[in-house]
Amino acid sequence: GVGLIGAGVAIGWLPIPSVMVRVFNVTALVVLGLTATTFILGLRYEPAQSVHGVARVLAEREQRNEAVAHVTPYRGEYQFEGRLTRPLPVVKPEDAEAWLLAHPGGALVAATNKWTPRADLGLRVVFEPPVGEIGIHVWQAPLPAPADATPAAAP
């Protein structure tokens, strides 16, 4: 910001005969400065806004026809990136545990500031964002134990 102001003042002191040329030069400098700033900040903060990882996990689950829902409002963030063909059902945070019980092996997508599961639910994290990304996690419910599974005999 300070550099941009300094450059504007320097251009203003240049011996340019026409006011229109001076206005054009300052305007061009401001546009170039804002474009460069936007580009640099975009490179810095784009990974924090990326939904590619979550969308990839959801696309794989959709292909396997597994149950997936989104906790809290879902605005279609993953539809295009993951090429999803069905919208995700939305579950309220207070109904998330009931949804998991009704869908063994199902997965919930949730922002950690909106919903975090209790430790005793036995959920595992299927996707955890890289460092710097806003905390969107995909949690998978455990599959029920097979009916024919027998406990191992003691020696």
Sheet with strand 124-127: strands edge to edge: 90-91, 68-71, 107-111, 136-140, 124-127
Average pLDDT over residues 61-87: 90
Average pLDDT over residues 94-98: 91
Average pLDDT over residues 117-135: 75
- The rounded distance, in Å, linking the Cα atoms of 39 and 36 is 5
Mean of pLDDT over the chain: 80
Structure tokens given for 30:
């401001």
Rg of the Cα trace of the chain?
A: 26
- Non-local (6+) Cβ contacts of 128 within 8 A are 137
- Non-local (6+) Cβ contacts of 54 within 8 A are 78, 82, 109, 127, 129, 136, 138
Is 108 strand, coil or helix?
A: strand
Band of residue 112 on the pLDDT scale cut at 50, 70, 90: confident
The letter for the amino acid at 143 is L
Is 53 strand, coil or helix?
A: helix
Furthest C-alpha separation in the chain = 100
How many C-beta atoms lie closer than 10 Å to residue 24's C-beta? 12
Average pLDDT over residues 36-42: 82
pLDDT at res. 71 = 92
The letter for the amino acid at 147 is A
Is 20 strand, coil or helix?
A: helix
150 pLDDT higher than 60: no
pLDDT at res. 67 = 93
**What pTM does this model have?**
0.63
The letter for the amino acid at 95 is D
